[in-house]
Amino acid sequence: MSRRIRITLSYDGTDFHGWQVQPGLPTIQGTLEEIIGSIEGGPVQVAGSGRTDAGVHARAQVAAFTLHNPIPTDNLLRAINRLLPPSIRVTETAEAHMWFHPRFDAVAKTYRYTLFRSALCSPFLWRYVHHYPYPLDEAAMIAAAPVLEGEHDFTAFAAADDRDNQEQTRVRTIFSSRFERVEESLVYTVRGSGFLKHMVRNLVGNLIEVGRGNLDAGALRQFLVPPVSRKSCPTAAAKGLCLQSVEYPPAPSD
């Protein structure tokens, strides 16, 4: 009998070429499919809530797959983690409805981007932050971040994607967009209905330009008004970004 399994996992994305399977390259999805397939004894397709870029990390990515193996979920968790590299860990396994899809059923995602502002960055932090010790008007960045909230066409903040032909709109809703100082870091937290390719890193790149004095909140707002005549500013480094959580509506009762 087929079973739909939902998992939550954390990973350090440094040594992977992103989520999506790429021939001959280490990816999160490819690693999971190989290991879960070995447990199943046949090919297994693992779907994720989103395709994190090369070098991007996750604290609570959500994925799902279909199994015929009757192994209990607790034993499955232990079996997967025993075979995974230490940079990936499954933190939760659960039975799900057969129609559950981690991407299409998600109602919100939260990402966090960390700019480390001190002159010296510890080697124990370096893999997980964007070290940016240069002058920035942090107050201007904090004030500009909420400009991105609301329902907008984020075309100016998106990279070309092979899914563009499948999706009719680049409109997304940002529920909250905030920068805050946390000790030696400037931390950007954004929660939205969904995100386009490179979108969060492009949002951060533009807010850095605000901090450098090259953009202001009004210019940032213009990128959200179609038709957009040009792309937004540079993309921030991948390693400062982490997928924090994925939210779903309450499970329907049987």
Please give the distance of CA 166 from its chain centroid, rounded to a whole number.
Answer: 20
Q: Distance (Å, rounded) from C-alpha 179 to C-alpha 10?
A: 24
Active-site residue identified among 12, 15, 53, 137: 53
Go through 118-128 and write b for each residue having 16 or more CB atoms within 10 A of its CB, e for each that does not: eeebeeeeeeb
Please give the distance of CA 103 from its chain centroid, rounded to a whole number.
Answer: 12
Which residue, among 210, 201, 221, 216, has the nearest Cα to 152 in the 3D structure? 221
What residue ranges in the chain does DSSP mark as E strands?
A: 3-11, 47-48, 57-67, 88-96, 108-116, 130-131, 150-153, 171-182, 185-192, 241-247
> Residue with structure tokens 């079996």?
79
161 as an active site residue: the answer is: no
- Enzyme catalytic residues: 53
